[in-house]
Amino acid sequence: MATTRRLVLDVLKPHKPSLLEVTKKLSELDSVKSVNGILYELDEKVANIKITIVGNKLDFDEIKEMIQRLGGTIHSIDEAVCGEHIIDEVKTPQG
């Protein structure tokens, strides 16, 4: 079975916990090597964040559960990288 190495998630979360707290908690999971969180929209009650998670064998269910425990909801998986190596996006003439 192919391993998941990178996930980019679109997450809706309440203002608390902070983006820093969310990324720290996710980085503490056994399957996670590093986490990058970016705030891209702030509303009166919630924040939309883009979370990039990298690891050798990411456990999506564990990641999803942690996000939910922190009050967040995954809107979408915007990128998934599986297999032996991480392939970065390649620029093409179409975009």
Would you list the domain boundaries of the chain? 4-82
| Helix, coil or strand: residue 23 | helix
Give me the pLDDT at residue 48, please: 97
Handedness of CA 51, 57, 60, 66 (dihedral sign): negative
Q: Which two tokens stand for residue 87?
A: 């392939």
Burial class (CB in 10 A: 0-12, 13-18, 19+), 44: exposed
Does the reported pTM lie above 0.85? yes
What does the pLDDT look like over 3-36, one tens digit per residue?
A: 999 999 999 999 999 999 999 999 999 999 999 9
Unique residue bearing structure tokens 């702030």: 42
DSSP 93: T
Task: Convert the pLDDT of each residue in 49-65 to its tens digit.
Answer: 999 999 999 999 999 99
- Going from the C-alpha of 80 to that of each of 47, 70, 93, the distances in angstroms are 22, 22, 23
Q: Which of the following CATH numbers is that of domain 4-82: 1.10.3720.10, 3.40.50.300, 3.30.70.1340, 3.30.70.20?
A: 3.30.70.1340
pLDDT value for 35: 98
